[in-house]
Amino acid sequence: MELSKLTSPKLISTKLKLRSKQEAIEYLVNQLADEGKLSSRYDFLKAVNEREELSPTGFEGGLAIPHGKSKAVKEAAFAVATIETPLTDWESIDPANRVELVILLAIPDEEAGSTHLALLSEFVTRLSDETYKERLLNAASSEELYSLLDVVDAPEETREIEDTGKVVLAVTACPAGIAHTYMAAEALVKAGKELGIKVFVEKQGANGIEDRHTSKRLQSADAVIFANDVAVKDESRFAHLPKVKTSVATPLRNAKGLLEQAVEKAEKSPKRVYEEQSATDDAQDDQEHKPFKTEIKDSILTGISYIIPVIVAGGMTLAAAVLISQIFNLQDVYAEEGSWLWLLRQLGGGLLGQLMVPILAAYMAYSIADKPALGPGFAAGVAANLIGSGFLGGMLGGFLAGFFLKFLKKKIQPKGTFAGFISFWVYPVVGTLVVGSIMLFLIGEPLAWINNGLINWLGSLSGTNALILGAILGAMVSFDLGGPVNKAAYTFCIGAMASGNFIPYATFASVKMVSAFAVTGATIIGKKYFSKQEQEIGKQTWLLGLAGITEGAIPFMINDPIRVIPSLVAGSAVTGAIVAYFDLGLNVPGAGIFSLALLKGQPILLAAGIWFGAALIGAVISMFLLIVTRKSKLSKEENLAA
C-alpha cells in the first residue's frame, strides 16, 4: 500500500508547537478541511472526539493514531504532525507515553471496513519498526517526511531462532474493534518469532472474526492468550487449553512476557483432550475480575445494543399498523382477529411486548457469564413479561441470571465424564429454575401488590383536583415506559372509561407521545451531546410517538435512568395536568395522533389543539431537561478525566 497516495505535503507538518491533545486534533482536522477532504470540519471533529471516548488512541514510543469515520469525509486521507514538545495529556496504553508523532486518519463511512483497516494495519506494521518511526520524527520538513512515508527497509537478516515446538493461540478484541485489536495481534506474532514460538492470532474486530482458529489449530495448540476488553466470541472453543487473560493493551507493552507466561502454564497444567463445542473451563481461568461497576455498565450496554434493532423494527411495524388503520378508517380491520392488519399489529407488538425484554435480559446475562447464561437470561426476561415488570424487571432479571450463572460456574465446573452434562443441562436448567422462580414468586407477588395499590390510590384521587390527578397519571405513564407503574396508570384509565369517566384516558393518550417527541428533539437540538447511535434512534422515535408507542425512549432510559426518568416524568406531568384541567375526554381505547379527532369535552378543533399542544409542551420541557442533564453529565466526566 502506497501511503503517499492518501496524503500530500500540505497535510504534513513538522516540529509544531502544540500544547494539548485537543489542539493537535483540531489542527489536523483543519488541515484536512483546508485541503478539501471534508464537507464539514465540525462533523468530522465530532466523529474523532467520539472515537476518543471509546478507548485510547495513544500507544507507546511517542505515537498516537486518532481516527474518525464520518459522512463528512469526501475521500480517505490522513494528516501527520510531529510535535516539538511532546504532549503528556494524550490517553495512551502506555501511561508514560509522551506523544510526538500524530497521524489522523479520515475515513468515509462506506470505507470503514476496507480502507480504514487496511490503512491502519499498514501504519501499525511500519511503525513497529523503530528505524522507520525515527526517520519520520527526525524529518526537518513536510516534504522530507512525505518522501519518507513509503521508504521501507528490507527485512534484516536475523539469526535463526531455535523452534521450541510450542504453539500458542491468541484472541485480540477491543471496544472499537480496530486499532488495538490489530496492533496487539502484530505484537504477539512478532514476539513469537523472537522466542521461537508459533503464534496464531484471531482478531475479533470491526470486520467480525478474522483468521478464525481452525479445529486443527485448536487441537495442536498448547495454550491460549485472550487480550480483550470486550467479551470474546465463542470462548468455549478454548476450554481444553491453559489460558492467560489480559487487556488488549498488554501485548503492546509485554508481548514476550505473556507468551512466556502461557508456555509456563502449559507446562504446569497441560491441555486436555480437545472436543468440538466443549464448554468453557473456568477452573483454568485466572482472569482478573472486572470491577463490579464496570461489569454492570458493560452488561447494560450489551443489552441495549441487542434490543435497539428489535425496538426499531417492532416499533416501526406497529406504528405502520396503527397509522394505516387510523388514516384509512380501518379500525375494524385492525381489531378483527386474523385480518392482515391485525397480523401486522401482532408482529410489531410481539417484537416489543414479547421479545424485547427477554432479549435485553438474556444479553445482559451473557455479558456477565457468557454463553451458559443465555438460557436463564431469556427465562428471566419471559418471567419479567409474565409478572408485567417491563424493562426494569428485565434488567433485574438479566443481572440475576448473569451473576447466578457466574456463581454456578465457579462452584460446579465441567470436568471429566460429566463435563457435557454440566454445561448443557445443569447450567441452563438450574439457572432457569432458580432465576425464574425468584422472578415469578419473590418479585412477582410484591409487584402485583404494588400494582394493585397504585390503581386503588389513583381511584381515591379521582374526585380531587383534576390538575393533581392528571399530573400524577402523566408522571406514571413515562416513569417506566410500559412497566408496572405505566400499566397501573393504563388499568386505572381503562377502568375509569368503563365507568363513564373519559378524562383519564385522554390524559394517558396525550402523555404517551411526550417521551418519543422529547428524545427526537433532544438528539436534534442537542446533537453534540449524544452519540451517533442515540441520534439514529432519535430520528425515528417521533414517528413511534405519533402512534402512541413509548418504547423508543427505552435505550435512553436504560443507559442513564437517574437523569432520563426525572426528565421525562417532569414533562409528562405537565402534559397530564393540562389535558385533565381542560376536561378533555376520550372514550375509545388506543393512542396516537388520530385520537384527536375523537376527543370530547370541548369543540373539536379546540380540543385537538389543547390535547396535541399539551403533548408538545411536555415534550419541550423534557427535551430541555434531557439536554441539560446530559451536558452536566459530560462536563462532570471531563472534569474527572482532567
State how far the alpha carbon of 63 is from the alpha carbons of 119, 243, 354, 356, 591, in Å: 16, 30, 49, 43, 56
Instruction: Please give the grid coordinates belonging to residue 132.
Output: 522507520
* Listed residue (576, 559, 578) closest to 626, CA to CA: 559
What is the secondary structure of 230-289 as a DSSP string? Answer: SPPTTGGGGTTS-EEEE-TTHHHHHHHHHHHHHHHHHHHS------TTPPP-GGG--PPP
Compute CA 603 distance to the chain's CA centroid, rounded to the nearest angstrom. Answer: 47
CA–CA gap between residue 507 and residue 576 (Å, rounded): 5
CA–CA gap between residue 119 and residue 3 (Å, rounded): 8
The count of C-alpha atoms lying within 13 angstroms of the C-alpha of 343, restricted to the half-sphere facing its C-beta, is: 3
Task: Please give the order of strands across the beta sheet that includes 243-246.
Answer: 208-210, 198-205, 167-173, 223-228, 243-246
Question: Which sign, positive or negative, has the C-alpha torsion 277, 281, 287, 293?
Answer: positive
User: Active-site residue among 67, 180, 213, 240?
Assistant: 67
CA–CA gap between residue 11 and residue 78 (Å, rounded): 7
Instruction: Please give the grid coordinates belonging to residue 140.
Output: 526537518
State how far the alpha carbon of 9 is from the alpha carbons of 65, 79, 374, 493, in Å: 18, 9, 53, 69
DSSP 159: P
Using an 8 Å Cβ cutoff, are 168 and 259 in contact? yes
Amino acid at 215: S
Backbone angles phi, psi at 110, to 5 degrees: -70, -10
CA–CA gap between residue 191 and residue 172 (Å, rounded): 15
- Provide CB contacts within 8 A for 574, sequence distance 6+: 471, 474, 614, 617, 618, 621
Q: Could you confirm whether 67 is annotated as catalytic?
A: yes
SS3 sequence, 484-540?
HHHHHHHHHHHHHHHCCCCHHHHHHHHHCCHHHHHHHHHHHHCHHHCCHHHHHHHHH
Instruction: Please give the grid coordinates belonging to residue 557.
Output: 432510559
Give, for 202, the enclosing helix (H) or strand (E): strand 198-205
Burial of 378 (0-12, 13-18, 19+ CB in 10 A): buried
User: Active-site residue among 116, 174, 180, 493?
Assistant: 174
State how far the alpha carbon of 454 is from the alpha carbons of 383, 469, 476, 498, in Å: 21, 13, 10, 18
Q: Could you confirm whether 174 is annotated as catalytic?
A: yes
Instruction: Please give the grid coordinates belonging to residue 274.
Output: 480437545
> At 312, is the secondary structure helix, strand, or coil?
helix
Residues 471, 473, 474, 480: what is their CA dihedral angle, to the nearest 10 degrees?
A: 140
Catalytic residue IDs: 67, 174
